[in-house]
Structure 1
């Protein structure tokens, strides 16, 4: 949801903005194959009842729907996401990280696909334009592991403890799925700080690598 709200905010701002994705695991110790469903896992983790877990999740589903996102929590498959992160880093080398990230998120939250399964990930890779066999070969080995770990180490340096987490110009941080307007205000603030105000008049001497231009007198 935070990703969608950021995208909506960028559409409202007439300024080029580059978005880079980073790797972060909420639960690095999670198994690849998890028997518990989302509600059971939440109940165990936070010491609540299944009914309470469902109620909390329903709020998330409702907010997602308002953004045009279709979250299917009843059938969502919990899994370890490390290999999915490796695949996004692999896609980055091909210029398709944004597309790969979006496809994995939709597969996980909406389509209830097992994004810890290599065959499933390879299929998703092919859908965004990557070579399926090349992706499958990468997943079978240890490629991209160091790059994922580097991102996770960077997250620790910034004291990131949850997602979504947004770092703007390595200076301002926003946590959680903030309202779109909050992103708009934050981006405008950074853009304004980066702008250079020209104080000299048009009658000044301008020089570059080709020489100097003497201002014309009217």
Structure 2
């Protein structure tokens, strides 16, 4: 959801903006095959009732609809996301990071696919243009593990404790799925700060590769 709102904000700004996705696990200790549903997991984690967990999740579903996303939380499959992160970083090395990220998020939140399962991840990778055999080989190894761990270590250094977390020019941070207008304001602020203001007098000596131009009196 935060990703979609950021994308909507970027469309409103006439300036080149590069987005890079980083790795962060909310629960690195989670197993690959989880039997409990999302409501049971939230109730246990936050000490709330199943009814409260459903109500809170429904608000998330409604917010997602407002930005054109269709979340199916009733059938969402909880799993460890480490291999999904490894796949995303592999896709990044092949120039398909954004496509792979979008496909995994859709598979998880909308299609209720098991994104901890290697076969599922391989199929998703093929859909975005990666080679099946190369992906299967990568997932069966520990390739990209160091890359994911490095991102997670960087997140610790920045004090990240949850997602979404947006870092702009390694200077300004926004947390949570902020409204698109908040992103617009933040991006415009950074762009304005990066602009160079020329303060020199028109009478100043101006030199280039062809020599120096003496100002007229």
Q: Is residue 204–residue 215 contact of structure 2 (8 Å, CA) maintained in 1?
A: no
Change (3 A) 1:137 1:214: same
Structure 1: distance between partners of 2:133 and 2:202: 60
Structure 1: distance between partners of 2:205 and 2:212: 6
Deviation at 1:207, TM superposition (A): 3.2
Partner of residue 136, structure 2: 136
Q: Is residue 10–residue 184 contact of structure 2 (8 Å, CA) maintained in 1?
A: yes
After superposition, the C-alpha distances for 1:163-183 in whole angstroms (9 at most, x for unaligned) are: 000000101000000111110
TM-score by length of 2: 0.96
After superposition, the C-alpha distances for 1:95-135 in whole angstroms (9 at most, x for unaligned) are: 11011000000000000000000010010101111101101
Deviation at 1:198, TM superposition (A): 1.1
SS of equivalent to 2:74? coil
SS of equivalent to 2:75? coil
Structure 1: distance between partners of 2:204 and 2:14: 30
Structure 2: distance between partners of 1:14 and 1:206: 31
Deviation at 1:77, TM superposition (A): 0.3
Partner of residue 67, structure 1: 67
SS of equivalent to 2:167? strand
Partner of residue 100, structure 1: 100
SS of equivalent to 1:74? helix
Q: Is residue 202–residue 215 contact of structure 1 (8 Å, CA) maintained in 2?
A: no
Q: Which residues of structure 1 form unaligned runs of 5+?
A: none
SS of equivalent to 1:84? helix
Q: Which residues of structure 2 form unaligned runs of 5+?
A: none
SS of equivalent to 2:14? coil
Regions of 4+ moved over 4 Å: 201-205
TM-score by length of 1: 0.96
Structure 1: distance between partners of 2:181 and 2:212: 44
Count of residue pairs the alignment pairs up: 217
The answer as to 2:124 corresponding to 1:163 is no
Structure 1: distance between partners of 2:127 and 2:193: 40
The answer as to 2:14 corresponding to 1:10 is no
Structure 2: distance between partners of 1:196 and 1:51: 55
